[in-house]
Each structure stands twice: as C-alpha cells, then as structure tokens.
Structure 1
Amino acid sequence: MIKRTLMFSNPAYLNHKNSQLVVSFPDKEKEDRTVPIEDVGVVVLENQQITISHGCIAALLQNNVAVVSCDSSHMPTGLILPLDGGHTQAERFRYQIEASVPLKKQLWQQTIQQKIYNQAQVLQEVGIPADNLLRWSRSVKSGDPDNYEGRAAAYYWQNIFGAFMEFNRHRAGEPPNNLLNYGYAILRAVVARSLVSSGLLPTLGIFHRNKYNAYCLADDIMEPYRPFVDRVVYGIVSEEGDYTILDTSLKTRLLQVPQVDVRFDDMTSPLLVGVSRTTASLARCFEGVSRKINYPTL
C-alpha cells in the first residue's frame, strides 16, 4: 500500500482516536478531518501554530511514521523517528557496528556507481550528453578513491539547468537550490524512516562521518535517490513559472517525491516502498547474507 505524505501548513490541532489521526482547526472554521494512521508514511509540521498531542506522536511512531518539523522559514529542521525498528534490532545494531572497512568501501562503491548512473539518466532525459558519467559510473572503485562522485557532480550541476541559467549547487545558493533543499529534506526523512524500520542505526554511516550529524547513514543511502528529486525540480524549472518563493503549490509537488515510481530489475514501485527494499538489502549486507545493495535505476 502507498503511504501518504501529509503537510500541515495552517494552524491545527492534531490528536488521535481509534487509530485515526484527527485534525481539528481553530475556532471550528472547518470540520474535523480524520486519516487512518496506518495509511501515513510522513507528516510535515510546517506551521508554527500547530499543536500535536503526545499520544498522537506516540501513535504515529508506533506505525513507523516519520514526523518532520519545520522552522519559522518553513524549511524542514527536525525529524522524529521510532526507536524500535524490529525484534532483532540489537543483533542488527551489532552487525552494523562491526561491519568491516572493506565492506563499507564496497557498499560505498555501489552507492556512487548507482548515483552517477542515475544522474546520467536525468541528463539524457533532458537532451544533455552524459557518456562521460556512464563511463565514470563503471570506473568507480572500492571506496571511490578517484573521487568520481565529485567529477560527476561538477559536470552534472553545470549542465542540468544549463538551458535556463548558470547554476551552482549550494544549500544557501540561488533558486532552484531552495527546491532541491526541500526535496532532499523529504527524501532524507523517508530514508531515515526506512533505515529504522529495517533495524539499523541511521547515525552510523558507511561513508559520511560527522559527529554533529545524527543521520550519516541516511545521507549515504539517499545518494542514488537524489536524481529522482532533481528530475521533479527540473520539471518545475522548465515550466518557467516563479519558483523563487517556495509556496504551498511547489511544496505540494515536492511532497509527491515519496510516491514517484522507481524501477528495480524485477519491479516498479513507489519511492517510499523502494527505499524500504534498499534498506532491507543493506541490513542483509551487514549480516553477511549478501554483498549487494538493491538500488533503483532511474
């Protein structure tokens, strides 16, 4: 079943009753609305005047819902995830912690290979030559010692929006960096949610290592999925509307990222489901059952 992504951009009170998320509005300006909690995958709390009960938070976490909190500028700034990801979580934590350096380097190699390949597919879709990226994706070695990721990124960002502007990818940069930031924040929440559901610690990365980052592994595993966000942002930019202000209509489009189709060798599924497949395969790699992460192809 496809899980829903809910964004609350107006003042509201969130509670739960009979396994339903109950949404009430100030002064009863609208009738209460209910959503089955089991149908929800991500909740984005954007407005500063949202009140959510502790019982509601507990019910959401029990159903493995990622709760994203936004700051006063309406950008995602926090993430609440369940602590318990499965009955064998302690065992999986141990496998993850004890993973060898060679294994981590091989997993990073696969991650970067698929990221560069998917970037190449985005460029080819919009008519930009990407033979160099396809060649680099096949050349990545264990641990990416030659930094093909950096080479690919330089070419990719110079060209993807080249028909519309000179673009530099930077979190604090000019639009459409604002769209990319928002889309990546939603993607990060989806990946972190799936890692927890697979019994893994999103803090312990295979490549990213930052003592101030609680989601290093999520940042690792989301890399091959970033081009799916980029493709959505390209579609917005190509329409030549005003995307300098990240308004509700643009956010609504970016919140559809968890529902976009991703393709594996044997199936096509929504991204939210596909990420779960990826994190489950990662858990098997840590356990020694497999040595391949199952990433989608764009």
Structure 2
Amino acid sequence: MTWRSIIISKGGKLSLRHNQLLIQQDEAEYTVPLEDIAVMVVESREVVITLPLLSAMAAHGVSLLACDEYHLPCGQWLQFGQYHRQLKILKLQINSSEPLKKQLWQAIVCQKIRNQAFVAEAIGESQAAGRLRVMASSVRSGDKDNQEAQAAAVYFRAIFGKGFVRQAENGINARLNYGYSIVRSAVARALAAHGWQPALGLFHRNELNPFNLADDFIEPLRPLVDWLVWQLFTEAAITPELTPLAKQQLTRLLHYQITVSEQKYTVLAGIDRMAASLQPALASKNNKLLNLPQLSALKEQSYE
C-alpha cells in the first residue's frame, strides 16, 4: 500500500537501486521502496533523475511533481496504459451521455458545497454553514444555476474574511494553490491507475488541459485544503512566502482523514475509492454510485 509523500528540496541525484528510490545528496545516501511512495515533489532545480527510475516510478504508479522557479508544481509524471482493460474504460468514457455527465457533476458540486458547509460549521461560522447547506440542496443537473460559484463567494468570505480575494497574491492563496496542486496530482494518479483518460472531463472541457477529469474530482476535496490553510492562518501569522514547513504541512494532507461510504480512509485511499466508483456510476448510469469524500476531522488518519 502506498503511504509516503516525499519532498526533494535539495540538489542531488535520484536513481534506481534494487527497485528502490536512491537519493544521493552530498555524501549521504537514502533509499525508499517504490511501492511505499504515492507522490514525490521535486523542488530543487539541481536534481538529476535517471530514466530507469522514471520507468520504475511509472510502473509502480508513483506520481512525480516537478516545480518551477517559484517552487510551485508545474508538471506531473504519471503511469500510462497500465490498467488491464484500458479500451473498455475509454469506451465507457467516450460513450457516456451528456445528461449523465451533468448528473455526475451535480453530485460532485453538491458534495463540495456540503464539505464547505462542514468546514464553516467547524470554525464557528454557523450562519454561513446554514446558507451553504441550502445551496447544496438546490444544485440542479449540470449546476445550471451556478450554485458552486455562489457558494464559493459565501464560503471564502466566511473563513478568510470579507476582504479576501481568491486571485490576490498573498500567503493564503499561495498555500491554497500549493495544497490544491498536491491533491490534484493525487487525483490524477488515481484516475490513471484505474484506466481513465484524465483529459476527458465531466464538466471541465478545456482543450489545453490534460487533466480535466482530475479538475472535476478534486472539487469535494478542496475544502479540506481550505480548512488546513485556515488553521495555519489562525495559529500564526502567514508570511507571503511559501515556507518549507508550510509545504511539508500541506503535503502531509494526503495522509489526513476523510470519510467515504461511511468508512474512514486517508485522503490517498479515499481518492482511490472515488476514482474506482466512476466505473459503476457510468456503467449503471447512476450518479448515486459515486463514492465522494465527506469531511469529518482535520487530523492525520490513525490505524490504531
């Protein structure tokens, strides 16, 4: 079972040794079994990666994120064609009707807004939580009334203040963007592992975006990122810069607790179950078969 997320912030060489990741930095060497790794983020511009390692990472389903000069994820390495019935899944995606896609998007938006309401309630914004729950119950097929955007306006003002602007350059948005990138990479990884073509989205259809489907399925998980960033914001003053500690905290989010089908999972395991549930939902033409994550706590999953 994959359970590790790794950040490489120092220059060095990454290679393959005995089916393990070998990290060589200065005079030190570290090894990590590939089967343990879910996501690896490479920040340093002075890292060398060997082709055998990249091939082995793809075979093991490890998602590699490369960062730009601002230390923000800008590229992703995923496995390709590893699912045993790739053509079956592709046909299922291509042949899905527009009404069914709209119903699936409706379910996703509903759960996203419910999770936003949960976060608002958890931080003491009961009035906003009530409004959000009403909006969630009002989402129609395809979200024709754009309840998602209306809910976002209520939600972000409630948790970050009336003056908060999502597009502004500040420490809060920097952390939100980083956290979303990490979770999005995990969603894309799970979709690829289950044979889905990530460019074929349900709602997102940008021809320049190779991860439209991941952008659909990240939505119910965004409030978990928001919640952690809110906690960081309330516990201490957030600097405009994205600190190494903040990156570690946001990357650990993949091992936090969520609920899927009334069972507790890590975010990584819950994402996998969400990706797997798309097949029966499309095959049965039933959006209720989607196993979408629900928020229940802001803590790392415990297996005790």
The TM-score, its normalising length taken from structure 2, stands at 0.93
Aligned to 1:199: 195
**Residue 297, structure 1, aligned to residue 297, structure 2:** no
1:10 corresponds to 2:6 = no
CA distance in 1, matches of 2:134, 2:74: 37
Q: Which residue pairs with 2:59 in the alignment?
A: 62
Query: Out of 217, 229, 232, which is 2:228 matched to?
Result: 232
Structure 2: which 5+ residue stretches go unaligned?
Answer: 296-304
Alignment deviations for residues 242-292 of structure 1 (CA, whole Å, 9 cap, x no partner): 332111111000001110100123310000000000010012222337532
1:34 matches 2:27 = no
User: What is aligned with 1:117?
Assistant: 114
Q: Tell me the distance in 1 between the aligned counterparts of 2:63 and 2:164.
A: 32
Root-mean-square deviation (CA, aligned residues, Å) is 1.3
Contact 2:40 2:63 in 1 (8 A): yes
**Contact 1:200/1:283 (<8 A) preserved:** no
Matched, 1:262 2:261: no
In the alignment, the residues of structure 2 paired with residue 136 and residue 20 of structure 1 have an alpha-carbon distance, to the nearest angstrom, of: 48
Q: What SS is found at the alignment partner of 1:143?
A: helix
Offset at residue 188 of structure 1 (A):
0.6
Structure 1 equivalent of residue 137 of structure 2: 138
CA contact (8 A) 2:171 2:242 kept: no
Question: Paired residues, what number?
Answer: 292
Counterparts of 2:2 and 2:53 in 1: how far apart (Å)?
21
Question: After the TM superposition, which residues 236-247 of structure 1 pair with which residues of structure 2 at under 5 Å, given as runs?
Answer: 236-247=232-243
Deviations 1:97-144 (A, max 9, x none): 111001100000000000000000001111002111101111111111
Answering whether residue 156 of structure 2 is matched by residue 157 of structure 1, we say yes
Query: Structure 1, unaligned stretches of length 5 or more?
Result: none
Greater displacement, 185-194 / 77-86 = 77-86
Q: 1:181 maps to which residue?
A: 177
**Is the contact made by 1:264 and 1:295 (CA closer than 8 Å) also made in structure 2?**
yes
Is the 8 Å Cα contact of residues 200 and 213 (structure 2) preserved in structure 1? yes
Pairwise mapping of residues 72-87 of structure 1 onto structure 2 (< 5 A)? Answer: 72-87=69-84
CA offset at residue 84 of structure 1?
Answer: 1.7
Give CA deviations for 1:187-209 in whole Å, capped at 9, x if unaligned: 11000000001110111100011
1:222 paired residue among 203, 210, 218: 218
The amino acid that maps onto 2:91 is R
Partner Cα separation in structure 2 for residue 89 and residue 74 of structure 1: 34
The question of 1:23 aligning with 2:23 is answered yes
Shift, 1:2, TM fit: 4.9
Q: Give 1:3 shift.
A: 1.5
| Greater shift in the superposed pair: 122-131 or 288-297 | 288-297
Q: Where does residue 127 of structure 1 map in the other structure?
A: 124
Distance 1:62 1:144 in 2: 38
**Match of 1:148, as an amino acid?**
Q
- CA pair 85-132 structure 1, distance change in 2 beyond 3 A: farther
Instruction: Report SS of the residue matched to 1:252.
Output: helix
Amino acid at match of 2:224: F
Letter in 2 for 1:196: A
Q: Which residue of 1 aligns with 2:85?
A: 88
2:100/2:285 contact within 8 Å kept: no
- Aligned equivalents of 2:181, 2:258: Cα separation in 1: 18
Is the Cα–Cα contact under 8 Å of residues 99 and 286 in structure 1 kept in the other structure?
A: yes
1:44 aligns with 2:48: no
Q: Shift of the alpha carbon at 1:150?
A: 1.0
What CA distance in whole angstroms lies between the structure 1 residues aligned with 2:262 and 2:2? 18
Counterparts of 2:87 and 2:76, CA distance in 1: 22
1:161 Cα deviation from its structure 2 partner: 1.2
